[in-house]
């Protein structure tokens, strides 16, 4: 037991460095990352509370306020499941500290427990951002007793378990299957993407699924229980508390967690060993040494690193794939989008097809903005160097060249997806020559802008000592800020474009203004990288 607590303490201390107040030795200034995280969390929590309170306006009058709790439980569970699927491949298997951990005189189930527990803690913090504000809003608007707070506390602690367990099992299966192939990383990426797209499709039609179950159910609570036990059990405790059901709720989650650890521990070493196996195929080849420019060589290195890091590809690539899917849906079947919105009770008082046809260039511009800023690749590129960063820093190349090469590599990854989406939209709608030119410029400038922001954030908040790539890609402060900043930029862009067009401004002027503003911001960021970013680059020590 002492060994377990010692390892847990060491692992969590290292993983929670995101919350640490660090000191910059070069300038003697303190960088309070904790304060920044608290500010972001407070902003998210307040937004969730406002949204939940809005929903409660109409639901409490009919005695269905608990539906708000159900909504947020299901949303957080789906998000946790998605993260568990594509993070478990790097968080549980093929970790950087495997040689140390698996050589210690401890059970493999203990190693597995430590890694799953670390994932649980981060998902618990993430889920709390959504659940606690919704619970507070419900408690304010509803006459609740002490049992509500007891049930809610148990729910906050236990609800992440089931989606984490399912995600880890699916992730383990994906790693196990993909490890049998020569191109194991490519297979893992394809299978994981297929799972995530499947979840996205099912979740987008969740209302029709619920409607089918509701036809054979006697109450809303019965529907929820049949669909997803944790949500149904929690709502049951909120509406009609029973100590027996409360204890069953706790026991079921603990049992599920224990069984998952027991099952995975039996196959963990085999899967992990196979994931590390390198298959060598010998054949006669005449090798030629090619001379490359510095930028070309670094871009090739970054591209190879990207392709060989499944969690990196999935994190950035899924948004780009959804961008192409969105363009295809707009091009092929606008009725599916209308049906999707109606599933969530969004009633349109206008003809969606006519609006899309009239403002297709502006809609495409907004989609490009969203795809660019929500697929920030460079926010992890510095941190992914890990302990090899000192080698990169020692090569006789200017830091600016290295930084810009990373940015260009990320842009080259994004461009094919965005250009495919552009061509799909060009084929369907009537774009004039100027609109085509402006959209193509935006397709280059906006990814460049997003990646310059990402690299600036990663230089400001590097995470160089992560145990695995999943921690860098999903649990570092630079990616966290990049994600929420991307949401803000997307919302602001949509608002400005909509307001500008509604005021009667020409469409070409709106597109041109967006491109010009983006170019000016890119110029400022390039100057920042050259003057300040290089200093931060040199200050990073591993």
Residue 101 Cα distances to 13, 16, 107, 387, angstroms = 16, 19, 10, 18
Distance, CA of 104 to CA of 99 (rounded, Å): 9
Is pLDDT of 344 > 50?
no
Tell me the three state secondary structure of residue 503.
coil
- Residue 192 vs residues 71, 165, 177, 376, 435: alpha-carbon distances, Å: 26, 16, 11, 19, 36
> For residue 345, what pLDDT band results from cuts at 50, 70 and 90?
very low
Helix axis angle for 433-460 and 360-373, nearest 10°, is: 20
Q: How confident is the model at residue 90 (pLDDT cuts 50, 70, 90)?
A: low
Say which residue, 505 or 61, is predicted with more confidence: 505
Give the length of the chain.
542
Q: What's the pLDDT score for residue 351?
A: 56
104-147 pLDDT, tens digit each:
666 666 777 777 787 788 888 888 888 898 889 888 888 888 88
SS3 of residue 167 by DSSP: helix
pLDDT range class, residue 281, cuts 50, 70, 90: very low
Average pLDDT, the chain: 76
Q: Which residue has the tokens 């230089």?
A: 459
Please give the residue that has the higher pLDDT: either 470 or 247: 247
What per-residue confidence (pLDDT) applies to 196? 59
Of 337 and 172, the structure prediction assigns the larger pLDDT to: 172
When mean pLDDT is compared across 36-50, 212-226, 234-248, 371-385, the lowest value belongs to 212-226
Would you tell me how many other CB atoms lie within 10 Å of the CB of residue 191? Answer: 19
Q: How far apart are CA 447 and CA 449, in angstroms?
A: 5
Q: For 183-229, write each residue's pLDDT tens digit.
A: 555 555 665 666 556 656 655 555 555 455 445 444 555 666 667 88
Structure confidence at residue 128 (pLDDT):
87
More confident residue, 263 or 293: 263
Provide the β-strand partners of residue 21.
Answer: 32
For residue 460, the tally of other CB atoms under 10 A from its CB is 16
Closest residue by Cα to residue 367 from 309, 425, 300: 425
pLDDT at 438: 92
Q: Say if residues 7 and 102 touch (Cβ distance below 8 Å).
A: no
Place of tokens 């089918």: 212
Closest CA to 119 of 78, 154, 164: 164
- How many other CB atoms are there within 10 angstroms of residue 199's CB atom? 15
130 vs 57, which has greater pLDDT? 130
Question: Once rounded to an integer, what is the mean pLDDT over residues 344-355?
Answer: 54
């Amino acid at each position: 037991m002492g060994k377990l607590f010692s390892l847990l303490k060491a692992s969590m201390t290292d993983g929670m460095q995101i919350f640490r107040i660090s000191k910059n030795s070069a300038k003697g200034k303190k960088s309070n990352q904790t304060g920044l995280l608290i500010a972001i969390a407070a902003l998210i929590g307040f937004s969730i509370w406002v949204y939940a309170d809005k929903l409660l306006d109409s639901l409490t009058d009919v005695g269905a306020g608990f539906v708000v709790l159900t909504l947020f439980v299901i949303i957080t569970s789906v998000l946790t499941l998605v993260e568990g699927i594509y993070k478990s491949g790097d968080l549980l298997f093929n970790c950087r500290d495997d040689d140390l951990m698996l050589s210690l005189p401890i059970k493999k189930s203990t190693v597995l427990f430590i890694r799953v527990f670390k994932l649980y803690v981060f998902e618990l913090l993430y889920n709390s951002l959504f659940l606690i504000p919704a619970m507070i809003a419900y408690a304010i608007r509803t006459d609740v007793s002490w049992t509500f707070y007891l049930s809610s506390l148990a729910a906050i602690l236990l609800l992440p378990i089931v989606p984490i367990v399912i995600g880890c099992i699916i992730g383990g299966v994906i790693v196990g299957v993909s490890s049998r192939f020569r191109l194991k990383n490519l297979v893992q990426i394809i299978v994981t993407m297929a799972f995530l797209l499947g979840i996205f499709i099912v979740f987008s039609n969740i209302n029709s699924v619920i409607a089918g179950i509701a036809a054979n159910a006697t109450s809303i609570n019965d529907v929820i229980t049949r669909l997803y036990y944790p949500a149904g059990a929690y709502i049951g405790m909120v509406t009609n508390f029973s100590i027996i059901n409360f204890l069953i709720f706790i026991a079921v989650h603990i049992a599920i967690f224990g069984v998952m650890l027991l099952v995975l521990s039996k196959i963990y070493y085999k899967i992990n060993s196979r994931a590390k196996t390198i298959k060598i195929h010998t054949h006669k080849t005449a090798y030629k040494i090619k001379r490359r420019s510095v930028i070309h060589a670094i871009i090739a290195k970054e591209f190879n690193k990207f392709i060989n890091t499944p969690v990196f590809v999935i994190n950035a690539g899924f948004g780009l794939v959804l961008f192409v899917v969105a363009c295809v849906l707009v091009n092929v079947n606008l009725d599916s989008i209308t049906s999707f919105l109606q599933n969530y009770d969004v009633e349109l008082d206008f003809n969606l097809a006519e609006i899309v046809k009239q403002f297709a260039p502006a809609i495409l511009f907004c989609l490009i903005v969203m795809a660019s800023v929500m697929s920030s690749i460079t926010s992890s590129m510095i941190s992914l160097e890990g302990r090899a960063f000192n080698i990169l820093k020692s090569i006789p190349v200017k830091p600016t060249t290295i930084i810009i090469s990373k940015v260009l590599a990320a842009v080259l990854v994004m461009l094919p997806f965005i250009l495919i989406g552009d061509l799909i939209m060009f084929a369907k709608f009537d774009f004039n020559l100027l609109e085509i030119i402006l959209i193509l410029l935006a397709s280059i400038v906006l990814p460049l802008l997003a990646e310059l922001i990402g690299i600036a954030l990663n230089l400001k908040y590097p995470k160089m000592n992560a145990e695995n790539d999943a921690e860098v890609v999903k649990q570092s402060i630079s990616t966290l800020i990049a994600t929420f900043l991307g949401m803000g930029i997307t919302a602001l862009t949509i608002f400005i474009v909509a307001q500008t067009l509604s005021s009667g401004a020409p469409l070409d002027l709106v597109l041109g203004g967006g491109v010009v503003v983006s170019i000016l911001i890119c110029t400022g960021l390039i100057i920042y990288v050259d003057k300040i970013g290089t200093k931060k680059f040199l200050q990073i020590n591993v």
